[in-house]
């Protein structure tokens, strides 16, 4: 029997780490507590290797607990040991089985140490990134966090303006001209006092002549309606709400400045991590999506296939099989990186308009299988993830091809999509979950009948038991009447 030393480390963020060391048979070798320092971790290494044969390498199992996992992983990897970073969900499942009525740091560490014995194929050695990959990872995360913060401030600004002006002019994106107006006259009374001419001058300058009198009139109309509605009622704190809006505008401006700086550094780091810009050669993955994909996939060779990478991202559907039952159409697992999954789903909406093969996938889901828009995009995103792994694995840029595999130009691809794989407007309308604007729009169907419809389904359709579900591109099947 090969001699092994399994080290389970229950990481503590504000407290010491709890360590349990097991041998190849699952017997406890020692128990310790340590700090994230060279002296403390070296003592753990010596205690774990005590009595082991020369050349024995530790197998250290940790969870991704905040930032606490990185010092431990760097120390043991640099010493030549193997480190496994397992998901918290997997460790929790085994912990629930091993200890039903108790939970402690020691039990958690012992559970982690047993994972390589219980599920040897379910743990993979941790590969720490290179300097370029680590820099790109931090810049990508910083840009994503700042983008979310900016979005939250925009939502807050719109909510506050809706209190000040119930007929708010902020019905779309929040532009520079809007921020310029709100930083000066968020109070509708002050806005009316400023006048149309002054307001128009500010809007014209902030928008670089893209907006002018019409936008100024919208602000004046909303401000006048708010003053007429509220009057001088004490429940409406105009000055205090306006001050809060000005604060949110300043915070949003500061975030935009920091985001621009991090985006520039992200671009520099991406050039080093992906010199050929292979990730950006994929359709739909541009300035933002390319660096995200490059930092998530890292070394593509660590995934055996594109299906494994798709499953890693959580874009694979869940399995539900029992006996002779195999339920299809299960939701995706969402078990991987939220950032990469969201980027691929956003990219899928652009990719289906550029790649005929992906457009066919989207068309099939919408027209033939009755999927709504977001579900169809998730299917396209899963195919895009497999193609992303292939591109990064082969280290060759993506080539757009027709459905028969013939390479085509971007113009030819768009022409093919427009002629063959464009979802009809009536089908798209029936797939929407929003209420119809006209009584003829109909409701979303529950089932789509394609191909040769069975005779009983035809009869039910004639009786009115089934809703009308044929799309405009599906043939109409007529039932032959028997001869008298």
pLDDT tens, position by position, 5-54: 999 999 998 889 999 999 999 899 999 999 999 999 999 999 999 989 88
Q: Are residues 366 and 244 in the same domain?
A: no
Q: What are the angstrom distances between the C-alpha of 451 and each of 144, 362, 426, 455, 477?
A: 45, 18, 19, 12, 9
Q: Check pLDDT > 60 for residue 286.
A: yes
The values of phi and psi at residue 59, to 5°, are -115, 100
Residues 263 and 284 in one domain: no
CATH number at residue 80: 3.30.420.140
Residue 274 domain-assigned (yes or no): no
Q: Which residues contact 176 (CB under 8 A, 6 or more apart)?
A: 206, 207
Residue 21 has a pLDDT of 95
pLDDT of residue 454: 40
Residue 433, domain member (yes or no): no
Kindly state whether residues 300 and 403 are assigned to the same domain: yes
Q: Note the pTM of the prediction, 2 decimals.
A: 0.79
Residue 225 lies in a domain: yes
pLDDT at 161 over 60: yes
pLDDT at 366 over 50: yes
- Terminal Cα-to-Cα distance of the chain (whole angstroms): 84
Domain count, the chain: 3
| 3-state secondary structure (DSSP) of residue 293 | helix
Are 61 and 113 found together in one domain? Answer: yes
**Residues 294, 246 share a domain:** no
The whole-number average pLDDT for the span 55-70 is 91
Q: 442 pLDDT exceeds 90?
A: no
Each residue's pLDDT tens digit, 176-232? 999 999 999 999 999 999 999 999 999 999 999 999 899 999 999 999 999 999 998
Residues 139 and 48 in one domain: no
Question: Does residue 370 sit within a domain?
Answer: yes
Out of 420, 435, 463, pick the residue that ends a domain: 420
Distance CA(165)–CA(272), nearest Å, equals 49
Residue 437: per-residue pLDDT: 56
Residue 101: the pLDDT is 54
Please tell me the least confidently modeled range out of 55-69, 309-323, 360-374: 309-323
Are 78 and 112 in a shared domain? yes
In the prediction, which pLDDT does 476 show? 42
Last residue of a domain, one of 101, 122, 143: 122
Domain containing 249 equals 135-268
The Cα 413–Cα 419 span in angstroms is 10
Q: Residue 220 is inside which H or E element, if any?
A: helix 213-230
One domain for residues 159 and 208: yes
Pairing of β 325-326 and β 321-322: antiparallel
Q: What percent of the chain has pLDDT over 70?
A: 87
Average pLDDT over residues 319-345: 79
Whether residues 26 and 115 fall in one domain: yes
Question: Which of 392, 420, 448 is the last residue in one of the domains?
Answer: 420
Looking at the fold, whether 112 and 167 belong to one and the same domain comes out as: no
**What mean pLDDT is reported for the chain?**
86
Q: Are strands 5-10 and 58-62 parallel, antiparallel or unpaired?
A: parallel
Instruction: Give the side-chain half-sphere CA count within 13 A for 109.
Output: 24
237 with 309, same domain: the answer is no
pLDDT (average), residues 51-73? 91
Nearest to 218 by CA among 156, 175, 248: 175
Q: What is the mean pLDDT of residues 292-310?
A: 91
In this model, does residue 475 exceed pLDDT 50? no
Query: Can you read off the two tokens belonging to residue 360?
Result: 């066919």
Question: Do 192 and 259 form a contact (C-beta atoms < 8 A)?
Answer: no
How are beta strands 82-85 and 58-62 bridged, if at all?
parallel
What is the mean predicted confidence (pLDDT) over 50-71?
91
Domain-located, residue 213: yes
Q: Is residue 100 part of a domain?
A: yes
The set of residues, in sequence order, having a beta carbon less than 8 Å from that of 435 and lying 6+ positions away, is none
Residue 95 lies in a domain: yes
Residue 460: pLDDT over 50: no
Is 395 inside a domain boundary? yes
Statement to judge: residues 335 and 367 lie in one domain: yes
């Amino acid at each position: 029997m090969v001699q092994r030393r399994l080290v389970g480390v229950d990481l503590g963020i504000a407290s010491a780490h709890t360590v349990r060391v097991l041998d190849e048979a699952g017997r406890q070798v020692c128990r310790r507590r340590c700090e994230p320092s060279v002296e403390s971790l070296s003592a753990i290494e010596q205690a774990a290797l005590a009595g082991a044969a020369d050349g024995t390498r530790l197998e250290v199992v940790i969870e991704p607990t905040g930032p606490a996992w990185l010092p431990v992983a760097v120390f043991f990897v640099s010493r030549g040991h193997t480190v496994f970073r397992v998901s918290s969900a997997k460790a929790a499942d085994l912990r629930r089985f091993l200890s039903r009525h108790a939970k402690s740091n020691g039990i958690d560490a012992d559970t982690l140490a047993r994972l390589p014995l219980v599920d040897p194929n379910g743990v993979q050695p941790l590969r720490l990134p290179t300097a370029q990959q680590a820099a790109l990872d931090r810049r990508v995360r910083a840009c994503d966090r700042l983008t979310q913060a900016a979005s939250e401030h925009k939502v807050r600004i719109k909510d506050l303006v809706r209190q000040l002006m119930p007929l708010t002019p902020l019905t779309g994106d929040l532009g520079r001209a809007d921020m310029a107006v709100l930083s000066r006259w968020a109070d509708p009374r002050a806005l009316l006092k400023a006048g149309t001419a002054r307001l128009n001058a500010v809007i014209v300058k902030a928008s670089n002549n893209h907006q002018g009198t019409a936008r100024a009139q919208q602000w004046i109309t909303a401000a006048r309606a708010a003053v007429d509605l509220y009057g001088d009622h004490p429940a409406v704190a105009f000055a205090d709400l306006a001050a809060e809006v000005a604060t949110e505008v300043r915070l949003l401006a500061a975030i935009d400045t920091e985001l621009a700086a991090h985006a520039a550094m992200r671009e520099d780091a991406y050039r080093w991590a992906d010199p050929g810009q292979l990730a950006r050669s994929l359709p739909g993955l541009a300035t933002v999506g390319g660096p995200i994909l490059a930092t998530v996939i890292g070394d593509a060779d660590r995934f055996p296939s594109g299906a494994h990478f798709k499953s890693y991202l959580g874009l694979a559907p869940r399995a539900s099989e029992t006996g002779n039952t195999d339920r299809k159409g299960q939701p995706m697992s969402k078990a991987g990186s939220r950032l990469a999954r969201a980027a691929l789903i956003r990219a899928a909406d652009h990719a289906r308009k550029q790649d005929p093969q992906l457009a066919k996938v989207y068309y099939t889901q919408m027209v033939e299988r009755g999927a709504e828009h977001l579900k169809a995009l998730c299917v396209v995103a899963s195919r895009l993830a497999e193609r992303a792994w292939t591109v990064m694995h082969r280290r060759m840029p993506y080539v757009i091809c027709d459905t028969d595999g013939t390479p085509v130009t971007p113009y030819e691809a768009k022409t093919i999509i427009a002629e063959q794989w464009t979802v009809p407007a009536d089908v798209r309308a029936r797939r929407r979950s929003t209420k119809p604007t006209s009584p003829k729009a109909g409701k979303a169907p529950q089932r789509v009948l394609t191909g040769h419809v069975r005779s009983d389904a035809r009869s039910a359709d004639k009786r009115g038991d089934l809703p009308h579900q044929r799309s405009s591109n599906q043939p109409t099947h007529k039932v032959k009447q028997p001869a008298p």
